[in-house]
Amino acid sequence: MSDGAIFTVQSDPTLLADLRRYGKFDTSGCYQCGSCTISCDLVTDSVNFPRKIIRYALLGLRESLAGSLEPWLCHDCGDCSSICPRQAEPHISMMTVRSFLTAEYDWTGISGKVLRSRAWHIGLLGLITGVTLALIVLYHLWYVGLPFSYFATTQLGLEHMFPMMTYYTRIVLLLPLVLLLSRVYRIQRLTMRGKGRTPIPFSAYVVEAWEYVRHSVTHELMRECPDRSRWLGHWLLALGTVLMLTIKLFALRWFQTDAIHPFYHPQRWLGYLAMALIFYGIGGILVGRIRAQKEFYKQTRFEDLIFPILLLSTALSGIAVHVFRYAGFALTCHFLYALHVVIATPMLLVEMSFGKWSHMIYRPLALYFEAVKERAVRQIPGKEAVPDAA
């Protein structure tokens, strides 16, 4: 957001080409009519998109684009694309900008490679899958002391792997979180500081901190989109995923045990509940993408599909472990658990740390920072929150 101060900006003619390495960004037909912005239910007095974001790209305003929070405020409903008289697909452009920003935020540079190149994306998933498989084999050979020829016949059950598995699970779950949080300072520097921006008092960050929690928990802006059913599926999917990850992080031994519990035991119904929520959410996404009727499902990229598929496979392999354990097939259950770990590890380490799904952290963070900016502007006497002129 500009304060109206006079400062010079440099145009970068390579910006558009850079953006297009992350996906579609069709500006050829756009004549800046603004219909997309008018149609967007999420535009307010102080935030203005997608026209402004398209304009930044057309003018080569790299710093302005990298410092924009608006692409995260867009919830991808696709209304702007339905109304665009030039079929410029502004909601796809916003999606591409979010991939560009995800790469800009990542100091490791891996997000950029994963989001620009399918070969890199698949290669990294394959590498982590291979390393995980190798770790499982080595663990049994050296830690358990099981000769390789006994692998296919020895019924070990699940509990032999504790406490090693507890540490492994915590590392794999917490590493994406640590990586994502390590980017917060960079995001803050890009979006909240710099020439022409309102100085933000620290108190504004403290007072508005609740906004981060509120948006992380409710995803309430998605409810502003005309299709409410999408919000419900999205919210239930997030709830089920967080519930399952929390159980795995804090209560793995209690959850992934060889003990057989009655149906009413919380170990069982909590697991069933998390699975039901995940299946409902993932089912809606996959069916929607296969039907491709709604605007936001009309175009499906590799990165839109890979996480739902990996999450579904993780959930199905987890259920298979449960079923075979209760059916008394200890060896099959053991192999299935290895498969479960082999699928879940790259999903967490690649998709959540470097892929599109890092938006789970970035989107509420952008909403929080936007609230902080608005508070800072309100605190200046006689100043009102206004959108940038671009």
Q: Which is nearer to ligand SF4, 3 or 76 (CB)?
A: 76
* Contact map string, positions 244 to 283, toward ligand SF4, x by CB under 6 A: ----------------------------------------
Quick one: tokens of 23? 């996906």
**Near ligand SF4 by CB under 6 A, which window of 89-97, 161-169, 284-292, 342-350?**
89-97
Q: Cβ(186)–Cβ(359) under 8 Å?
A: no
Under rule CB under 6 A, residue 97 binds ligand SF4:
no
Under rule CB under 6 A, residue 49 binds ligand SF4:
yes
Under rule CB under 6 A, residue 59 binds ligand SF4:
no
The CB-of-109 to ligand SF4 minimum distance in angstroms stands at 28
Under rule CB under 6 A, residue 78 binds ligand SF4:
yes
Binding residue for ligand SF4, selected from 1, 94, 179, 192, defined by CB under 6 A:
94
Question: Within a 13 Å sphere around the CA of 52, how many CA atoms are in the beta-carbon half?
Answer: 23
Under rule CB under 6 A, residue 343 binds ligand SF4:
no
Query: In this structure, what DSSP letter does residue 198 have?
Result: P
The CB-of-15 to ligand SF4 minimum distance in angstroms stands at 17
Under rule CB under 6 A, residue 32 binds ligand SF4:
yes
Tokens 């995260």 appear where?
72
Cα 79 from chain centre? 22
Nearest alpha-carbon partner for 361 in 196, 242, 247, 254: 242
Under rule CB under 6 A, residue 75 binds ligand SF4:
yes
Under rule CB under 6 A, residue 90 binds ligand SF4:
yes
Under rule CB under 6 A, residue 300 binds ligand SF4:
no
**Near ligand SF4 by CB under 6 A, which window of 80-88, 256-264, 272-280, 312-320?**
80-88
The CB-of-252 to ligand SF4 minimum distance in angstroms stands at 38
Taking the CA atoms of the chain, what radius of gyration do you get in angstroms? 23
Under rule CB under 6 A, residue 88 binds ligand SF4:
yes
150-171 burial, b if ≥16 CB within 10 A, otherwise e?
ebeeeebebebbeeebbebbee
Q: Which is nearer to ligand SF4, 36 or 173 (CB)?
A: 36
Under rule CB under 6 A, residue 51 binds ligand SF4:
yes
Indicate the residue type of 126. G
Measured CA to CA in angstroms, residue 268 lies from 71, 162, 326 at distances of 40, 20, 11
Longest dimension (CA), the chain: 78
Under rule CB under 6 A, residue 375 binds ligand SF4:
no
Under rule CB under 6 A, residue 226 binds ligand SF4:
no
Under rule CB under 6 A, residue 33 binds ligand SF4:
yes
Q: Which is nearer to ligand SF4, 82 or 154 (CB)?
A: 82
Under rule CB under 6 A, residue 370 binds ligand SF4:
no
Measured CA to CA in angstroms, residue 237 lies from 42, 125, 156, 306 at distances of 22, 22, 33, 15
CA distance 222 to 360: 13
CA distance 282 to 194: 40
Instruction: Specify whether the backbone of 76 is left (phi greater than 0), alpha (psi in -120 to 50) or beta.
Output: left
Question: Within a 13 Å sphere around the CA of 176, how many CA atoms are in the beta-carbon half?
Answer: 24
Under rule CB under 6 A, residue 31 binds ligand SF4:
yes
Applying CB under 6 A, the residues found at the interface with ligand SF4 are: 30-36, 39-40, 42, 49-51, 54, 74-80, 84-86, 88, 90-91, 94
